């Protein structure tokens, strides 16, 4: 069971995983050693899966986002596993979700420019049979981030 200090620690680490433990400890009114033990416990319990660096997409050279909506005529476990492997091998596909409704999947694809989408599309359809793919170019990011609300954590 998480308490308010645990939730605050999670909020702070989500904003900056490189924040020194002493600074986290100060912000949650704990000693550095007690805070360090809590962070270790949160990691061991699976609340913290890993710590990553969030890169600047402009500086990395992939400022363009395309969302690809996919329909398939296949829904077998084998097809899904082949699809999972195909999208895992394409670095530009940074997220994939299975959907309800008229489409089966949505992919978030990051690209150097919109014309590069065709390269990714061709790599994907060489690997897996798809019924329909519709692509949508993101014009503007209104909200982005990896932080999660911690109020629901138990």
DSSP conformation letters of 45-56: TTS-----PPP-
Exposure of 43 by Cβ count < 10 A (0-12 exposed, 13-18 middle, 19+ buried)? middle
Q: Which domains does the chain have, with CATH numbers?
A: 4-44 (1.10.10.10), 57-137 (3.30.70.920)
Structural contact between residues 52 and 17, judged by C-beta atoms closer than 8 angstroms: yes
How confident is the model over 62-82, as a mean pLDDT?
97
Q: Which residues of 15-36 are buried (b: 16+ CB within 10 A; e: fewer)?
A: eeeeeeeeebbeebebeeeebe
Residue 22 confidence (pLDDT): 98
Q: What is the mean pLDDT of the chain?
A: 96
pLDDT greater than 90 at residue 1: no
pTM recorded for the entire structure:
0.89
**For 103-126, what is each residue's pLDDT tens digit?**
999 999 999 999 999 999 999 999
Percentage, residues of the chain above pLDDT 90: 94
**For 76-89, what is each residue's pLDDT tens digit?**
999 999 999 999 99
Could you give the CA distance from residue 89 to residue 6 in angstroms, rounded to a whole number? 36
Residue 117 confidence (pLDDT): 98
Across the beta sheet with 105-111, what order do the strands follow?
93-98, 105-111, 64-71, 132-137
């Amino acid at each position: 069971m998480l308490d308010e200090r645990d939730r605050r620690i999670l909020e702070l680490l989500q904003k900056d995983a490189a924040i020194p433990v002493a600074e986290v400890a100060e912000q949650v009114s704990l000693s550095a050693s007690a805070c360090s033990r809590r962070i270790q416990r949160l990691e061991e319990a699976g609340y913290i899966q890993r710590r990553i660096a969030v890169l600047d997409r402009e500086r990395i050279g992939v400022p363009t986002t395309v969302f690809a909506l996919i329909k398939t005529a296949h829904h077998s476990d084998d097809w899904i596993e082949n699809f999972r492997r195909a999208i895992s091998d394409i670095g530009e596909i940074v997220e994939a979700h299975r959907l309800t409704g008229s489409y089966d999947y949505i992919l978030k694809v990051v690209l150097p420019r919109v014309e590069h989408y065709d390269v990714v599309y061709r790599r994907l359809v060489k690997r897996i049979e798809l019924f329909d793919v519709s692509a949508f170019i993101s014009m503007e990011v209104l909200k982005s981030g990896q932080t999660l609300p911690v109020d629901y954590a138990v």
